[in-house]
Structure 1
Amino acid sequence: MRSTKLQWESYLITLVLLAAVVASGIDTRFSPSTFFEPSSLKAMTRFTGGLWPPEAEPKFLGAIGKLLLETVEISLVATALAIVLALPISIAAMRPRGEEFSRRVLGWPVWGCRWAVYYLSRAVLALFRGIPELMWALLFVVAVGLGPFPGVLALTAHSVGILGKLYAEIFESVDQRLIEMTRVTGASELQVLAFVRFPVTLPVFLSYTLFRWECNMRSATVLGFVGAGGIGTQLMISMKLFMYQEVATLVLAIFVLVIAVELVGQYLRTHILDRPQAGACEIIEE
């Protein structure tokens, strides 16, 4: 009987989701046939025809190289800053566990403050990741002016919200039995973090961090549309001036950069993340 009820609930949820997709398609005027209208075909033909041949003037290629380097630098600095800022916030954003132990040691008032810190940290992380990078970039462009610096700040702010939440949930996922075993030895919460939570979750920690860097690199390519540095600035200028040959070169350069970053990420995962890590039990025994 219960199985039949669950099946009907699954069918109902599926129908509701399908109805939501269909209604959304109607409201957004989704129409694939629009691509085959004469005006659309003419516009696309004119645009794609203007992309060939890509601009290959040495001076322009040299300028692209500098912009690509600036884009990578923006993503690297932003990711590094985000790690430094997200780690302490993620520690505060971990859900309190071991209630009886904490109430006995900390006392009721301090235990209540711990929950307040938890909810406040989660709210801060939600705010940071809830605002898109372009919105942060617009804000920081107004605050500090044009250039790569507001791009760094924008990616840092958004990445703190993403990484802080991921780090907190990664640390929470550690087997609670290992945590309690370490606490029994008299270890502080900081020692538990340093010798149990972090070593056990290190491969996942590094994997998510590398992935976030790749995302930041991709995001850095479009922050230039609002004046926040990177190769997106030149892409915006070329698009506005209808210099489609330059646009083709810029798109190819971005594609090569994305592939290079993907290869670097795979290399780091293969040579760092696949190495055996010390187990928590070994650490506790030491």
Structure 2
Amino acid sequence: MPAPPARSWTAPLMGLVLLALVAASFASLPLHFAALFSLDAVTSVREFLAGFAPPELGSGFLRKTGLAAIETLSMSALGTLLAVAGGILLAIPAAGRFGRAARGAVRAVLNVLRSIPELVWASVLLIAAGLGPFAGTLALAAHTAGVLGRLFADALENAEPLPERSLRINGAAPMAAFLYATLPQTLPQMLSYTLYRWENNIRAAAILGVVGAGGLGQMLKYHLSLFQMQKAATVIVAMLLLVALVDALSFALRRALTR
């Protein structure tokens, strides 16, 4: 009778470490749940939210909000497109196509790009590019290129190598073998990653306006700073509708790609 396999203590140990981290987090943070749900807090929140009703529905302001929504959508789309181009260029060496040294160096660059949040990128680029959507678009492109580059590189590394190897054995050039064998395998996955990041960039583009990068976020910051709550409510509703529209479009495109 074969001996039972040796029991691994790795999973229970990791679980205990995670529980200890959660307990330490609750112990170290000053969480005031009683104050959050107190009568004064509830009353203050209700009065604050009441100031948003009804939203501003004047034709002039709605037109201005619509133009800002188009600007936000354009920022997210162009930023994602630039990130896809940069991500593919960085993913090829990051997947080990040019040796281990190049792989490590490019992956370090990708780590830097995606470790810096969009708001920080926008704050830096506003100095170089000035106020407006251009800096926001570049900020989205820089951060998203780091994310997509890493995802694309992992997809290329996990692709089945046999088709490309077969083409190489039969005399195909390295780039032709890559384009006809490996890239078609990973393209649906890359498109899915791109659409998902576009969804995220819509939300990020709306937030980037808070630091002066244009779009709905800049309108929201302006009207909130002047305590024009009804106009701010209209901008928030426009943000919600824009995110819902892009989510639905992205979902439909992903379903069409997987059929």
Interval of TM-score (by shorter of Structure 1 and Structure 2): over 0.9
Q: Which runs of 5+ in 1 are unaligned?
A: 97-112, 276-286
Amino acid corresponding to residue 61 of structure 1 in structure 2? L
Partner of 1:79: 80
Partner of 1:207: 192
**2:59 aligned with 1:58, yes or no?**
yes
**2:190 aligned with 1:189, yes or no?**
no
Partner of 2:234: 249
Q: CA RMSD in A?
A: 1.7
Residue 154 of structure 1 deviates from its aligned partner by 0.2
Match of 1:232 among 204, 217, 225: 217
**Which moves more between the two structures, 52-61 or 217-226?**
52-61
Partner of 1:41: 42
Secondary structure in 2 aligned to 1:175? Answer: coil
Residue 11 of structure 1 deviates from its aligned partner by 2.3
Residue 12 of structure 1 deviates from its aligned partner by 2.5
Q: Residue by residue, what CA displacement relative to the aligned partner does 1:97-119 show, whole Å, maximum 9, x if unpaired?
A: xxxxxxxxxxxxxxxx7222111
Secondary structure in 1 aligned to 2:131? Answer: coil
The 1-side partners of 2:156 and 2:46 are apart by: 52
Q: Residue by residue, what CA displacement relative to the aligned partner does 1:131-184 show, whole Å, maximum 9, x if unpaired?
A: 000000000001111000000110010011011111111111111222322221
Q: Evaluate the alpha carbon distance shift between residue 89 and residue 9 of structure 1 in structure 2; reply closer, same or farther with a 3 A threshold.
A: closer
Q: Are the aligned partners of 2:161 and 2:182 in contact in 1 as well (CA < 8 Å)?
A: no
The 1-side partners of 2:4 and 2:227 are apart by: 63
Secondary structure in 2 aligned to 1:266? Answer: helix
Note the 1:39-188 alignment, pairs <5 A. Answer: 39-95=40-96, 114-188=99-173
Amino acid corresponding to residue 205 of structure 2 in structure 1? A
Residue 2 of structure 1 deviates from its aligned partner by 7.4
Q: May I ask how many residue pairs the two structures share in their alignment?
A: 257
Partner of 1:20: 21
Q: Are the aligned partners of 2:94 and 2:103 in contact in 1 as well (CA < 8 Å)?
A: yes
Q: Evaluate the alpha carbon distance shift between residue 185 and residue 22 of structure 1 in structure 2; reply closer, same or farther with a 3 A threshold.
A: same
The 1-side partners of 2:56 and 2:186 are apart by: 47
Residue 189 of structure 1 deviates from its aligned partner by 2.5
The 1-side partners of 2:123 and 2:22 are apart by: 32
**Which moves more between the two structures, 240-249 or 65-74?**
240-249
The 2-side partners of 1:249 and 1:119 are apart by: 47
Secondary structure in 1 aligned to 2:99? Answer: helix
Residue 4 of structure 1 deviates from its aligned partner by 6.3
The TM-score, its normalising length taken from structure 1, stands at: 0.85
Partner of 1:10: 11
Secondary structure in 2 aligned to 1:30? Answer: coil
Partner of 1:102: none
Secondary structure in 2 aligned to 1:5? Answer: coil
**Which moves more between the two structures, 187-196 or 216-225?**
187-196
Q: Are the aligned partners of 2:96 and 2:102 in contact in 1 as well (CA < 8 Å)?
A: no
